């Protein structure tokens, strides 16, 4: 099950389509969806989580808590809509495009992809682009 939760003034207008897309990503990666919760929030909300749980005093666009066991995907993905909007401006893409990239990025981490080394970043970006192109 995919759920969408809002801790800020924001809402998706295509939850069903995005849910089906994320389920398809998980399935295509050979994994099984248990439960993924997307929580959309503002910078202050996510900054507090970053300090409390990761001890990082920085703003970020996404924090994910992975409860997956093996190929059974389960977790909470917190996304700062403010940070995503700023990044979209910086990267010269729409908010919607950047939001979908961040959403699939979090799920790809649950499926086993990392982004610490240059080669991992390259592979992650290729996967993100592949799945973004699947979403019409």
* 108 burial level (CB within 10 Å; 0-12, 13-18, 19+): buried
Q: Is 109 annotated as a binding residue?
A: yes
Q: Is 43 annotated as a binding residue?
A: no
User: Annotated binding site: which residue ranges?
Assistant: 105, 109, 115
User: Annotated binding site for Zn(2+): which residue ranges?
Assistant: 105, 109, 115
């Amino acid at each position: 099950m995919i759920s969408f939760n809002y801790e800020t003034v924001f809402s998706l207008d295509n939850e069903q389509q995005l849910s089906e897309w994320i389920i398809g990503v998980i399935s295509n990666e050979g994994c099984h969806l248990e439960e993924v919760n997307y929580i959309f929030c503002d910078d202050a909300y996510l900054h507090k989580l970053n300090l409390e749980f990761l001890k990082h005093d920085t703003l970020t666009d996404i924090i994910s808590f992975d409860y997956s066991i093996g190929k059974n995907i389960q977790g909470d993905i917190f996304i700062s809509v403010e940070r995503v909007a700023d990044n979209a401006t910086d990267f010269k893409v729409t908010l919607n495009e950047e939001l979908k990239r961040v959403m699939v990025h979090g799920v790809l981490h649950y499926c086993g992809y990392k982004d610490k080394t240059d080669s991992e970043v390259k592979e992650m970006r290729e996967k993100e682009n592949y799945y973004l192109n699947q979403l019409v």
